[in-house]
Amino acid sequence: MVCESHSSPWNRETLLLALEIGFRHINPEDNWMEAKLTHMESHQQMVGVVFQSGESEAIADLLCAWTLSSDAHKPHPSLKICAEYLVGLSHLQPFPPRLRKAIIESIGLIHYQGFEQFGMERYIELLDWLHLCVEDLINSPQLTRELLAAIESPGGVQHVPHQYWEWLVESLVSWGNVSLSPYTMTLLEDTKEWDKLECWMGMVWVLWSKGATMDQELETDEKLDRITLSLFQQRPGAVQKLEQWVGKLSWTERQRSTSFQQAFDQAYPNAEQKAAL
């Protein structure tokens, strides 16, 4: 009420106290709780006051207020304002646990498009500051979707580090409800990004085994077989990696998967070649 009725320039102490009273003690695990906060033009100044305070708990309060007012498909307009400030938070490293959790949730809700204007490098830098791990992606399907969106955007194949690709596969093993662009798969093959193509093919096969809706071009057996064959010719060890990922699926899901050994045999029909590997 204090924040929404405030029309004059923000008083720092009043604002931070209002946020603390309203949001400091909310349990972030209570997903049923939501707030309906009105977006106002003065929120631009409000964001500046809070972030410039340099107080990690106050910033977490602010992000909590607007993540509670957002949903997976439509972030609160005031939350989108925070993107500019989030990519400049290096001075608060290492992030306290509550602020780190609030930032991760905010990144997923803002969507990659909200950060695109600041450049891929700064977006990845923000993720690096958070010291993300595979558990973060598993626990945040929305963040997984937005990291995939970053990969599929211009420059994503080049700038998103290989480690994030591996974590994406692990995340999709736990849950799989995303769509993949066939353009990315072709680009990885054309640019000879074999390590990342290995992860991308892992995502394709994991999602296909889960029965996820696939792009029509990705469901073409001939194209999948050709690119899988190309991958194995360049990275023979990929067969074990793909089988390891698919092996983590449930028994029912594994029944849908292919035998990568068959494609490997096509790549290396000569027994002496296999022995040399």
What pLDDT does residue 275 have? 46
| Boundary-marking domain end, from 85, 100, 131 | 131
Most confident of the following: 44-53, 57-66, 157-166: 157-166
Question: Is the domain of 138 the same as that of 101?
Answer: no
271 pLDDT higher than 50: no
pLDDT level of residue 254 (50, 70, 90 thresholds):
confident
220 pLDDT higher than 60: no
Range of the domain at 222: 133-277
Provide the number of structural domains found in the chain. 2
Contact present, 204 and 224 (Cβ < 8 Å): yes
pTM of the model: 0.82
Question: Is the domain of 15 the same as that of 125?
Answer: yes
d(CA 143, CA 140): 5
| Boundary-marking domain end, from 76, 102, 131 | 131
Instruction: At 237, list the tokens.
Output: 């060890």
Question: Is the domain of 31 the same as that of 45?
Answer: yes
Question: Is the domain of 48 the same as that of 110?
Answer: yes
Contact present, 157 and 187 (Cβ < 8 Å): yes
274 pLDDT higher than 60: no
Question: Is the domain of 149 the same as that of 269?
Answer: yes
Question: Is the domain of 85 the same as that of 54?
Answer: yes
d(CA 175, CA 168): 10
| Boundary-marking domain end, from 131, 149, 182 | 131
HEC readout, the chain: CHHHHCCCCCCHHHHHHHHHHHHCCCCCCCCCCCCCCCCCCCHHHHHHHHHHHCCHHHHHHHHHHHHCCCCCCCCCHHHHHCHHHHCCCHHHCCCCHHHHHHHHHHHHHHCHHHCHHHCHHHHHHHHHHCCCCHHHHHHCHHHHHHHHHHHHCCCHHHHCCHHHHHHHHHHHHHCCCCCCCHHHHHHHHHCCCHHHHHHHHHHHHHHHHCCCCCCCCCCCHHHHHHHHHHHHHHCCCHHHHHHHHHHCCCHHHHCCCCCHHHHHHHHCCCHHHHHHC
What pLDDT does residue 100 have? 95
Lowest mean pLDDT among 43-57, 64-78, 192-206, 234-248: 64-78
Question: Is the domain of 166 the same as that of 126?
Answer: no
Cα dihedral value 56, 59, 60, 65, nearest 10: 160
Question: Is the domain of 74 the same as that of 155?
Answer: no
What pLDDT does residue 175 have? 83
Question: Is the domain of 77 the same as that of 19?
Answer: yes
What pLDDT does residue 263 have? 59
Question: Is the domain of 116 the same as that of 148?
Answer: no
Span 184-217, pLDDT tens digits: 988 999 999 999 999 998 898 888 787 766 666 5
Instruction: At 10, list the tokens.
Output: 């923000």
